[in-house]
Copies of this chain bind each other. A is one copy, B any other.
């Protein structure tokens, strides 16, 4: 019998380490050696679990966003309409200490996806999912008469997407100017403008 380890757990450990490094120093800080060291394992080990750096990176983004996705799923089941939207955007946009790393991963990944085909595909699927969620919540809100019947749902969905993207980015890059409570206030203000 081989040394018993949970393969997926190890992969996750490396993904976590990579996420921490991205959070701390961006993609440039993610060298395979640094990831191994951060995970407390040997360099060679890393390649036992990931065939290449790209594979690790893709796993990292899936891990980082997977957790968030789970939370969003939970929220969209427990709430609906503008309520759900507010909760989702707050959860997503808010760059508190705990989600800082996730946002850095997300930004990094978006950037990479614009430059490299291998990332673009995965990105498209993640991005579309996010956009859809916003649209559906808006449609819900419209049906519940929380927002005007003639609201341009598509446009507003895009607006909210852009808005949350911007808040997230600024929250990460300028935490002093965009502390969490300000981010929350911005999200609320924006959603309230949609209310009938």
Contact = CB atoms under 8 A, between A and B. Distances in A.
Interface of A: 2, 25-26, 28-29, 44, 107-108, 110-115, 127, 131, 152, 155-156, 158-159, 161-167, 169-170, 172-174, 177-178, 182, 185-186, 189-190, 193
Summarize A's interface: helix, strand, loop or mixed: helix
Given A161-B166, A162-B166, A186-B155, A25 B115 contact: yes
Given A2-B44, A115-B28, A127-B174, A186 B158 contact: yes
Contacts of A190: 159
Given A26-B111, A26-B114, 6 more contacts: A25-B115, A26-B115, A127-B174, A127-B177, A164-B166, A166-B166
